Structure 1
């Protein structure tokens, strides 16, 4: 099945709807495990510094493999890449279900990360089928699908695990995640048309092997700045995500179910913002300004969350309010950032550039967990959140000064990226 690129401004829902469902299912499978993993690691006898490293092993694999998946999809199509990625992730969950120690659990996470090319390929797919002013709306819908997956996934994981960490059925959680990925594979095979048809793939192949990562970054400096922003923002998020369950347990006495539902709150707010507000904001202010506003919101939310860990005065309501602010920041940042990325690509490098930015995001998810557990245990329970807020301020400076050099909005990046 193939599809052609529509006219600028058109929104091809016949192609996008199956992709949105695939993304929703993929992120739901990922989210099922996320809120219960720290409890799982503790049940296997690991401390915070080991648990967060094991959780971050997924991103170590993704950091290595995401650009390769992107380049694979440029040459052989988006559908084969999506299918192969989802099958590999499904296998990693089946291995996790049988883990008897933290090292096996971490190895399964690493393999899952090596298979995780689906996110960058999904964004490349949107770049294939949507142009012009419709692109922010399409990316907003894609971001909303991520958010919806992040609503249902953690909520399902928390509900399956239950209220008591000591009796949680972690094997069942992993099996549920694997089953969700299997549904995604079937959906791609049955319902998703190929966006990069034979003619366009042939053009890429006829031009040679396509540009290397080094050549793309040399020709498009904006890509480097976007990668730095992605690493900083996602690194900050990873510091929060990998320590929040422990924070909620130690500070508030929350159960896995409570943590899962709180992640569901983040996903709900983020999805609503991305589906309903992303495109209007981008049209009015431009992608760069909207991304900057999102970074500021995320930084404020992380700072507020850190403040709740500095004393016994803060309760559930304060923590939930801080989480809501971070979700607002994410909800307006993600579509704007992906609009900037999409504008810097063309057919020959779209998968590669999306793979590079996803790889940079994975780099942030490596470094964040690598230090967050040690900071949590050695400095204090508020430190990962406050440290993340500080990193967001660095991302703000890079985004303001570097990511959009040569223009005030995403159109400028597009002109820069397309000039050769």
Structure 2
């Protein structure tokens, strides 16, 4: 019974990610079709993240106040209209507008993670967040492969329209299957905290205050920095991967889609069967370090990959690393704060992810535009190495909080 609420959120995230992955490997080729340079492709990816940086913490706080379900529905509606704009694009500015619309309402994953935290116990969360990872892996397996076929047969707009249809399906799933999980009235808790001299709930703080509140505490600060290292590494890789494959292997959208699909197969396999056992055996912190180290190897050696078998091995290593780091770090973050702070903490993490998705693709695009393919892989690896450094430091003073 405890696991039953995860089924609708799994289906919702899966359909959302499937729609996203229909568009993700397409955009670099779509933008170049309209004359964009590699750097402009990176800026296109960053435009979504800039808007998400604004909306992420706001949506996280709103979900803490009014509930996960209505906030998730609003976010999904924006995604639907963004995909429609991309599918109907006739010039580069329309691609930018579609990504901006989607970015301003982005928050699906953050809200889904907060919902998982609402309905699971701390010791169950790594496995529960692994279910979101399975949804990601399955989406990355199916979406990019379908994109290649649709784009090659019906043009660049077809995958975006398919993504819009999936987004509409996701809205229907959320509306009909996801139970409402109202947040308990905060007034009694706030009164008790005031009497005890404790700070106000994060839901009442602006973004700057939320950042200060979490970064002033050693344990949440460490978890957020670890998440930032992961997100920056992963965003750099994904932001430049299609361009890298085009330059190094002369891949088009179809072949690139299959590489993304292979990565999704590896990641989904890990999170579908092994993540729970790995977390129990090593613990989330050690597992995160192992994952970061694997990402360093997989990303750092891309510069010496000239044959397809070598590329596939490195993609598999990187996919394994990211598949174990994301749920482990997310679990550690939610355990480092009180239950009433989890939505806001995940909103702050989404802000950090947005910063990563601004810096990573722009840096990757600039390096690839200057034919620095080895430096592109090394930059992604360097950010993962920072995660290893953080994870191997002595644990900061403090302990996980569960209210």
**TM over 0.5, shorter chain:** yes
Higher mean displacement: 167-176 or 210-219: 210-219
1:117 aligned to 2:103?
no
Structure 2 counterpart SS, 1:349: helix
Higher mean displacement: 31-40 or 110-119: 110-119
Q: 1:82: how far off?
A: 0.8
- Separation in 2, partners of 1:95, 1:396: 40
Runs (5+) with no aligned partner, structure 2: 192-199
1:301 aligned to 2:298?
yes
Structure 2 counterpart SS, 1:259: helix
- Separation in 1, partners of 2:227, 2:327: 13
Specify the alignment match of 2:285 in structure 1.
Answer: 288
Q: Give CA deviations for 1:318-346 in whole Å, capped at 9, x if unaligned.
A: 11111011011112111111110110233
Q: Does the 8 Å CA contact 2:218/2:397 hold for their aligned counterparts? A: no
Specify the alignment match of 2:232 in structure 1.
Answer: 235
- Separation in 2, partners of 1:199, 1:230: 28
Pairing partner for 2:40 from 50, 56, 60: 50
1:33 aligned to 2:23?
yes
Pairing partner for 2:129 from 135, 139, 147: 139
- Separation in 2, partners of 1:297, 1:322: 9
Pairing partner for 1:400 from 378, 392, 402: 392
Q: Give CA deviations for 1:167-216 in whole Å, capped at 9, x if unaligned.
A: 76111111111111100000000000023x35356667877753441453
- Separation in 2, partners of 1:79, 1:61: 22
- Separation in 1, partners of 2:47, 2:137: 22
The 3 A distance-change label for structure 1 pair 203 and 256 is farther
1:173 aligned to 2:159?
yes
TM-score when normalising by structure 2: 0.91
Q: 1:232: how far off?
A: 2.5
Specify the alignment match of 1:367 in structure 2.
Answer: 359
Length, aligned pairs only: 391
Structure 2 counterpart SS, 1:133: helix
- Separation in 2, partners of 1:368, 1:174: 23
Structure 2 counterpart SS, 1:13: coil
Pairing partner for 2:68 from 73, 78, 82: 78
Q: Give CA deviations for 1:7-62 in whole Å, capped at 9, x if unaligned.
A: xxxx7232100000001011111110111111101100011011111022112211
Higher mean displacement: 206-215 or 362-371: 206-215
The 3 A distance-change label for structure 1 pair 378 and 168 is farther
Kindly report which structure 2 residues correspond to 1:159-238, keeping only aligned pairs within 5 A, or say none: 159-162=149-152, 169-195=155-181, 197=182, 199-200=184-185, 210-211=204-205, 212-218=209-215, 220-238=217-235
Q: Does the 8 Å CA contact 1:74/1:201 hold for their aligned counterparts? A: no
TM-score when normalising by structure 1: 0.88
- Separation in 2, partners of 1:272, 1:405: 33
Higher mean displacement: 60-69 or 223-232: 223-232
Specify the alignment match of 1:3 in structure 2.
Answer: none
Structure 2 counterpart SS, 1:348: helix
Q: 1:225: how far off?
A: 2.6
Q: Does the 8 Å CA contact 1:154/1:260 hold for their aligned counterparts? A: yes
The 3 A distance-change label for structure 1 pair 401 and 107 is farther
- Separation in 1, partners of 2:22, 2:340: 35
1:65 aligned to 2:65?
no
Structure 2 counterpart SS, 1:194: coil
- Separation in 2, partners of 1:254, 1:361: 28
- Separation in 1, partners of 2:370, 2:318: 25
- Separation in 1, partners of 2:72, 2:317: 32
- Separation in 2, partners of 1:383, 1:137: 35
- Separation in 1, partners of 2:117, 2:46: 29
Structure 1 counterpart SS, 2:204: coil
Q: Give CA deviations for 1:71-123 in whole Å, capped at 9, x if unaligned.
A: 00000000011100000011111111222322331232122112111111111
- Separation in 2, partners of 1:109, 1:176: 16
The 3 A distance-change label for structure 1 pair 319 and 218 is closer
Specify the alignment match of 2:247 in structure 1.
Answer: 250
The 3 A distance-change label for structure 1 pair 110 and 230 is farther
